[in-house]
Structure 1
Amino acid sequence: MFRATSFALLMLSVANPALADEVTDTLSSALQAYEDGDIKYAIEELDYAKQLLQAMSAQELTSFLPEPPDGWTREIGESDMNVGLSFLGGGAAAEATYSDGTETFTISIMADNPMVAMFGGMISNAAIMGLKTHRVGREKFLFDDGDLTGLIDGRIIVQASGADPEVMIAILEEIDFNGLKEFGR
């Protein structure tokens, strides 16, 4: 399967040089190393291709961070979250800081990390655990220790922290949760 996929990517990039990019070049290099018997280098190239693809995924995830409302600014974080995720089983993350000069808070989105699933039970059972929840559109967010945390589609965590819940909810409501559910599919 790997050989067929790599061969198809290689042929696609050869047939149309405009489609060649760093990912296809790296996959081609991995395939060549494999064919040359250099398994160690093939693995290194595959790991690098995975990093490149995860960076592309994180960039796509950034598009779900809401635009700031009038009077607010948004700064997209060059977060180390994606590096940390690689040690925790992979996935993608994006983060932005919002400020109106008085209030400042952060929205983080983390997708497709194995640790995300553990939050599902906690959010589902928030009332039993005595924790407060808020609705953001049709999504349920747990409010704990100043953080709003929602589990979207069982695989994506959206978290806002650093300001009054009502301030954060107003901006969280701008997230396209239906589109976010389709992320990576």
Structure 2
Amino acid sequence: MLAYPPHPDEPITAVCAATYYADLIPAFAFIFRVENTGTRFTVYATEQHRWLINSTYTLTIAEHNSEPGRVPLRLSTDEAGFLHHCLGLLAQRWQDAITEAEAGAQHPATDEPASPGHLNIEPTPAGYQAIAGRFRDELHRVQDLLRRLDQLQPTTPDTGTQTATDADAGAS
């Protein structure tokens, strides 16, 4: 038993105390010791050097995703800002491509024969509209990612510590 219980708002850290190859499951087992509570737990991973012995990791609680194929993402403030910038540039490029495709749909199709040895692959106005529709779908996907990223604004500054979560490996 600990002399003082940990403060509920204090970050929980764990030290990787040991590792071994788990024979029953083809994985490496990492034993962590939570210093605030004196408890231990084991995490299994396929990578032998996923966590380092005697290194300290910050534990986080993530909601269990009922949607298959989704994983929690943890970013530093700088990483989130960079990702937001890149997604913004990508959204602008999709918008530019939509504008070009819609402009292509407005001009009449040319019936000029292709020069010898070449093909004329100019889309029809309907083809340009279909292309613009697909570009618009991609733009909406990027805009959705931007909205999700905006909802995940970090509330604390990045401390530079590494993170172990359920998304990285199955915890036991």
Q: TM-score range by the shorter chain?
A: under 0.3
Structure (1/2) with the larger helix percentage: 1
